[in-house]
Amino acid sequence: MESRSLSKTEARVILSLEADRQEVVTLAGIQDRAAVSPGFARKLAHDLVRRGWLQRLRRGKYLLNPSRHGPDAIPDSDPLRVGSHLVEPYYFGYATAAELLGLFPQASGVYYLVTTQRFRSPQGASAPFRVVRVEESRMFGTRTMVRRGETLVVSDPERTVLDCLDRPEFSGGVPGVAEIFALAKPHLDWRRFGSYLDRFGNRSLVLRAGFLAEKVRPSLRPPASWVRPRLARPTEPFVPLAPAATHGRRGSRDLRWHVIRNVSDDELFAEGEIR
């Protein structure tokens, strides 16, 4: 394993980054700090990556592996730290957010990043990232949290539940969503939850959210003021609870929420209560 030695010019770059407490640097930043030509800046970046001082995030953008990480040329292996610098704006969502918030006991092998930008996860990353692109109008419902000294942007519980219900394939399927909902339910801000649903503008999502809000942990009833305006209208079409593409459209029909129960109760509520 190559030692993390530094030339005089390389040391100027690394020490200035550490002095400024800056974790991310671009090729232009390397050029400015080293006072070199663009071509030499690219060579510096290549050498600093090879020696373990920088980790390539994307083309022309690098993450510092600071001296506190030790003398060996080992890239940073914390996916959350790496992921928090891959793209802006961003938030960790879906199963990743649920896990960070304590709503998803099982660890996900994929780290979900939500952003408004067109971006592909870099090859050779320390962990598999799944980038989900959304419109700017959908970039809401986040909070910051500190984990192992790193500040992360994460969807809040209300947004996490809705994201997972909207794309259940990113959170263990509908059974995973039910488990996340069950753990989040005692702590949900129902006013905020309803506001987020309204901003999504997806009636199918409203019906499925309403169904699960009453069926998961039924001893904890959602407020009537939340339920009443969202109930299914008599002429409204029925929607499948799980994606029809994978589960079909066959199953009993819930007349209150106009939801087709195309997932068995044993599978859906294996970990929680059901009425």
pLDDT of residue 68: 67
Q: Which of 112-121, 232-241, 250-259 has the lowest mean pLDDT?
A: 112-121
* pLDDT digit string, tens, across residues 18-33: 889 888 899 999 999 9
Q: Residue 275 pLDDT > 60, yes or no?
A: no
Give the integer Cα–Cα distance in Å for 239 and 118.
31
List of domains in the chain: 8-75 (1.10.10.10)
One-letter amino acid identity for 249?
A: R
Q: Residue 123 pLDDT > 70, yes or no?
A: no
One-letter amino acid identity for 98?
A: A
Q: Which of 100-114, 149-163, 260-274 has the lowest mean pLDDT?
A: 260-274
Q: Residue 104 pLDDT > 80, yes or no?
A: yes
* pLDDT digit string, tens, across residues 159-203: 999 999 999 999 989 999 999 999 999 999 999 999 999 999 999
pLDDT of residue 124: 57
pLDDT of residue 71: 58
What is the phi/psi pair of residue 259, to 5°?
Answer: -110, 135
Mean pLDDT of the chain: 89
In the three-class reduction of DSSP (H, G, I as helix; E, B as strand; rest coil), residue 208 is classed as: helix
pLDDT of residue 1: 43
Taking the model in full, what pTM does it have? 0.81
Residues with Cβ within 8 Å of residue 241, at least 6 apart in sequence? 174, 208, 211, 251, 259, 260, 261, 262, 263, 268
CB 86 within 8 A of CB 67: no
Q: Residue 150 pLDDT > 50, yes or no?
A: yes
CB 126 within 8 A of CB 77: yes
* pLDDT digit string, tens, across residues 55-85: 888 888 888 887 766 555 455 568 898 899 8
pLDDT of residue 109: 83
pLDDT of residue 49: 87
Q: Which of 66-75, 148-157, 192-201, 222-231 has the lowest mean pLDDT?
A: 66-75
Give the integer Cα–Cα distance in Å for 217 and 272.
6
Opening angle at CA 211, ends 184 and 106, nearest 5: 35
What is the phi/psi pair of residue 150, to 5°?
Answer: -105, 135
pLDDT of residue 176: 92
* pLDDT digit string, tens, across residues 250-267: 999 999 999 999 998 888
- Is the bond preceding 89 in cis, omega lying within 30 degrees of 0? yes
